[in-house]
Amino acid sequence: MIVTPGHLTTLLAAPASHSDGWRRVAMANALALTLALGGVASNAAAAPHAAARLEEIAALAEQDHALGRTTLVREGPTLIAGAPYAVRIRYLFLLRRVYVDGGNLRAAYNINEQIIRLATVAHDPRTLAVASLGRVYRLIENNDPAAALGLLETLGSRYRDLDSLEFKGGFDALQGAAFSAVGQYDRALQHFLRALELVQNHPDLWSPRKADILLAMARMYVNARDPMRALETLREVRAGAQRLPPRLDAAASFFEGRALVAQDQPEAALVAFERALALAHTHQLLSVQANTLGNIANAYLKLGRYAEAETAARAALIPAQSSEDKISLHMATANLGFALFGQGRHQEGMRLVDEVCAAMRRAGALSTLGRILSEKSHALERAGRFKEALATLRERETVLQQLSLDDRNKAVSALQEQFKARERAAQIDSLRLENAAKDAELRHRTLIQTVASLGAALALLLCSGVLWLYRKSERTGQRLTELNAELAHHSAHDPLTGLHNRRSFQDRMRSRTGEAAPQPDAADCFTLLDIDHFKRINDDYGHAAGDAVLVEVGKRLRATLRESDMVLRWGGEEFLVYSQGVTRAQRPLLVRRILDALASAPIVLADGTRLAISATAGAVALPFAPGEDEPPTPAMDWQQAIALADRAMYKGKEAGRNRAYIVAGLRCPEGALQLDLVLPGVAA
């Protein structure tokens, strides 16, 4: 089971559990800091020395985090005793950074609140704005991106005239992290790139750092199932710094491992995970240890090395229990169950997996539940328990439907929270105008001759303000309607090809019941196809060429098929064609037409390169007839049909690609497919 650690969800690291030594250091430092901030005398002579020494420690921490942290904790309270406000603020920001880089985010949050209190007393809006972004990050880390977007909207309105590059860069970086958390990856990338451009144009900017932004982008690419771009981004992270802080270094290795697993390279992923694990051990990052060990177990499961997967999963249980990280604990338990199942201990292993599934349902963790059910289905199929595998697959599709609805609701909630924040800002502006008008009236109430004219002017001003607010409310409502329409379109279409996506297809399937076939032997045909050697195209010509191929494949499919046929991008380089009313004689013709449309002519890239492409497909028709010699079976639904089409497509891959198999029957109980071969009519 793949683990997605909460401590790597945004620009910083989530709080790991800490040893008693860490706690003693934090308590001693907090006491010294309290005494230092309580001083009333300013030692002007010592201030330049303290500021220079803090800069030296900051440079040291960038090169050697452990030594820099130790030096700062030892010398810091003495350096700032009686120091001016600017020196104390610099110390607090530096202390917050070393805690974050060491994975001690709990202490970093406490330091951030001290910065906010000190800046409020000193009436320092620049520092207050930058420190307030830490609260936004904490909301994202606590899995509340809607509230984070609302707070960002409020801060953006409050500090829109603030001249601070650090605030602008952090604001865009957190916008990207929040939109990434709700699955709006296109908007997230827009904000990440804006923050990255600002940092690159101002290399002396202290925060945010380029490595933090790139790491957040790499995580976004992993979650968006684009491992190639994730690996490219991680290479840029490592190329941009001589020595990464422990948290960034561990995170980079961890996400490199996850991207390699997504590319079906578990051996290489293990090397990356081992680097992350070594860093976690060295710097006492228990949550990182638990999550990394869980992913190591998952990599061994993919390799079929079940004994080693069991060892890694059991090792993951220890730091997961110590850090009280329930997600890591559940994932380690699930991996242990799959490892035992793979070693033939079916009852014991499946009991652990089912316990985790039940816990995920209670917690509402539908995304994690869907991944566990997918792996459970594959494990049951490998064990020859096909009926249970199909039932598990059907359960997974139900979970994915609910997850799709939840993701859409989360995105709508985020937009609504932004809208409410804009309304609150407008109300504050309106109250400020009203209070100013009342102050003016009180100052001039003794001037009897001007009361009437002032009242008329005030009435006119208020009427104008009401009219302005009314028109602004109308424009805001219209914009919200446009945003909802845009969200509905994006939720139903693939952003690259413009084809339908899984969500729109599932909506179509829910309304499919009761549609009458136009001919007695007509049925609904599901054709699943995969572009041949697509990874080679990406490797040889780049991702821009791969995207161009995907767009052209979508155009050819739309141009070839009927208007009533539904064409959608199923995921990656896979496409699905749903055709109604196709007779038995028409099915091979339909599939051949699809193969010919893709292989008939090469695709011409922007630089003039001509790429010959082909595809391999699998097709199933519903209602499905299992076979003439088989006993009657319950009716098959569309999820099961697509699962069979996927199996048929992989049979085509094994047979040499550029072909299709139509599932003609299913022999029970062994579950073997009866397939009809379809070859293209043109050379690919």
The candidate with the shortest Cα–Cα distance to 341, out of 298, 374, 308, 306, is 306
Could you tell me if residue 52 is inside a domain?
yes
Rg (alpha carbons) of the chain, rounded to whole number: 30
- State what percent of residues in the chain have pLDDT above 70: 79
Structure confidence at residue 32 (pLDDT): 38
Structure confidence at residue 375 (pLDDT): 85
User: Could you tell me where the DSSP H helices lie in 142-209?
Assistant: 145-158, 165-181, 185-201
Could you tell me if residue 399 is inside a domain?
no
Could you tell me if residue 68 is inside a domain?
yes
Q: How confident is the model at residue 618 (pLDDT cuts 50, 70, 90)?
A: very high
Distance from the Cα of residue 501 to its chain's centroid: 18
Residues 482 and 517 both lie in one domain: no
Structure confidence at residue 22 (pLDDT): 36
Please give the residue that has the higher pLDDT: either 183 or 268. Answer: 268
Q: Would strands 574-582 and 603-604 be described as parallel, antiparallel, or unpaired?
A: unpaired
Residues 443 and 532 both lie in one domain: no
Structure confidence at residue 436 (pLDDT): 60
Residues 508 and 476 both lie in one domain: no
Q: Are 54 and 94 in contact (CB under 8 A)?
A: yes
The Cβ of residue 573 has, within 10 Å, a number of other Cβ atoms equal to 20
Structure confidence at residue 556 (pLDDT): 94
For tokens 């000190």, what's the residue? Answer: 118
Structure confidence at residue 445 (pLDDT): 64
Query: Across residues 447-454, what is the average pLDDT?
Result: 63
Residue 182: both structure tokens together? 């709700």
CA–CA separation, 667 vs 504, rounded Å? 33
Could you tell me if residue 510 is inside a domain?
yes
Residues 455 and 555 both lie in one domain: no
Q: Are 224 and 196 in contact (CB under 8 A)?
A: no
Q: Residue 374 pLDDT more than 60?
A: yes
Structure confidence at residue 652 (pLDDT): 93
Please give the residue that has the higher pLDDT: either 20 or 400. Answer: 400
Q: How confident is the model at residue 16 (pLDDT cuts 50, 70, 90)?
A: very low
Query: Across residues 627-632, what is the average pLDDT?
Result: 53
Could you tell me if residue 319 is inside a domain?
no
Structure confidence at residue 583 (pLDDT): 92
Q: How confident is the model at residue 190 (pLDDT cuts 50, 70, 90)?
A: very high
Structure confidence at residue 650 (pLDDT): 94
Q: Would strands 615-622 and 574-582 be described as parallel, antiparallel, or unpaired?
A: unpaired
User: Could you tell me where the DSSP H helices lie in 542-637?
Assistant: 543-560, 586-599
Query: Across residues 35-62, what is the average pLDDT?
Result: 65
For tokens 């609701």, what's the residue? Answer: 409
Please give the residue that has the higher pLDDT: either 84 or 103. Answer: 84
Residues 454 and 519 both lie in one domain: no
For tokens 């120091």, what's the residue? Answer: 83
Among residues 57, 91, 123, which one ends one of the domains?
123
Q: How confident is the model at residue 413 (pLDDT cuts 50, 70, 90)?
A: low
Residues 515 and 431 both lie in one domain: no
Could you tell me if residue 439 is inside a domain?
yes
Type of residue numbered 37:
L
Query: Exposed e or buried b for every residue in 63-98, given b needs 16+ CB within 10 A?
Result: eebeebbbbbbebbbebbbbbbeebbbbbbbbbbbb
Structure confidence at residue 454 (pLDDT): 67
- SS3 per-residue string spanning 386-424: HHHHHHHHHHHHHHHHHHHHHHHHHHHHHHHHHHHHHHH
Give 92-139 pLDDT, tens digit per residue: 998 888 887 776 778 888 999 999 999 999 999 999 999 999 888 888
Structure confidence at residue 530 (pLDDT): 96
Give 588-617 pLDDT, tens digit per residue: 999 999 999 999 899 999 899 999 999 999
Q: Which of 180-189, 408-417, 630-639 has the highest mean pLDDT?
A: 180-189
Query: Across residues 264-279, what is the average pLDDT?
Result: 90
Q: Residue 23 pLDDT more than 50?
A: no
Q: Are 80 and 88 in contact (CB under 8 A)?
A: yes
Q: Residue 369 pLDDT more than 70?
A: yes
Structure confidence at residue 58 (pLDDT): 84
The Cβ of residue 322 has, within 10 Å, a number of other Cβ atoms equal to 14
Query: Across residues 381-405, what is the average pLDDT?
Result: 82
Structure confidence at residue 26 (pLDDT): 41
Type of residue numbered 429:
D
Computed over every residue of the chain, the mean pLDDT equals 80
Residues 457 and 540 both lie in one domain: no
The candidate with the shortest Cα–Cα distance to 330, out of 18, 1, 6, 7, is 1
Please give the residue that has the higher pLDDT: either 439 or 496. Answer: 496
Range of the domain at 595: 502-678
Structure confidence at residue 206 (pLDDT): 78
Give 239-261 pLDDT, tens digit per residue: 865 677 777 888 889 899 989 98
Query: Across residues 263-277, what is the average pLDDT?
Result: 90
Residues 459 and 513 both lie in one domain: no
Structure confidence at residue 37 (pLDDT): 38
Structure confidence at residue 565 (pLDDT): 94
Give 540-594 pLDDT, tens digit per residue: 999 899 999 999 999 999 999 999 999 999 988 999 999 999 999 999 999 999 9
Q: Are 97 and 107 in contact (CB under 8 A)?
A: no
Give 455-488 pLDDT, tens digit per residue: 667 778 877 777 887 787 778 767 776 776 677 6
Among residues 489, 514, 537, which one ends one of the domains?
489
Q: Are 487 and 416 in contact (CB under 8 A)?
A: no
Give 303-353 pLDDT, tens digit per residue: 889 899 889 889 888 877 776 667 778 888 988 888 888 898 988 888 988
Give 419-450 pLDDT, tens digit per residue: 555 555 555 555 556 666 655 666 666 566 66
Residue 20: both structure tokens together? 């008693």
Domain count, the chain: 3
Residues 524 and 652 both lie in one domain: yes
Q: Among 38-52, 350-364, 570-584, which stretch is predicted with the lowest mean pLDDT?
A: 38-52
Structure confidence at residue 18 (pLDDT): 34
Residues 512 and 647 both lie in one domain: yes
Distances (CA, A) of 318 to 45, 54, 291, 306: 52, 39, 11, 19
Q: Is 568 helix (H, G, I), strand (E, B) or coil?
A: strand
The helix-helix angle for 366-382 and 326-342 (nearest 10°) equals 10
For CA atoms 197, 200, 204, 209, give the dihedral sign: positive
Residue 176: both structure tokens together? 């990207």
Q: How confident is the model at residue 41 (pLDDT cuts 50, 70, 90)?
A: very low
* CATH code for position 673: 3.30.70.270
What are the φ and ψ backbone dihedral angles of 608, each rounded to 5 degrees?
Answer: 95, -5
For tokens 């850090």, what's the residue? Answer: 323
Residue 608: both structure tokens together? 């003039």
Structure confidence at residue 388 (pLDDT): 86
Could you tell me if residue 639 is inside a domain?
yes
Torsion of CA 294, 375, 500, 183, to 10 degrees: -20
CA–CA separation, 582 vs 622, rounded Å? 10
CA–CA separation, 82 vs 42, rounded Å? 5
Residues 436 and 547 both lie in one domain: no
Structure confidence at residue 520 (pLDDT): 72
Q: How confident is the model at residue 627 (pLDDT cuts 50, 70, 90)?
A: low
The C-alpha angle with vertex 30 and arms to 28 and 33, in degrees rounded to 5, equals 110
Could you tell me if residue 360 is inside a domain?
no
Among residues 78, 97, 123, which one ends one of the domains?
123
Residues 76 and 99 both lie in one domain: yes
Preceding amide of 208 cis, omega within 30: yes
Structure confidence at residue 664 (pLDDT): 87
CA–CA separation, 523 vs 520, rounded Å? 9
CA–CA separation, 680 vs 113, rounded Å? 67
Residue 656: both structure tokens together? 């040499």
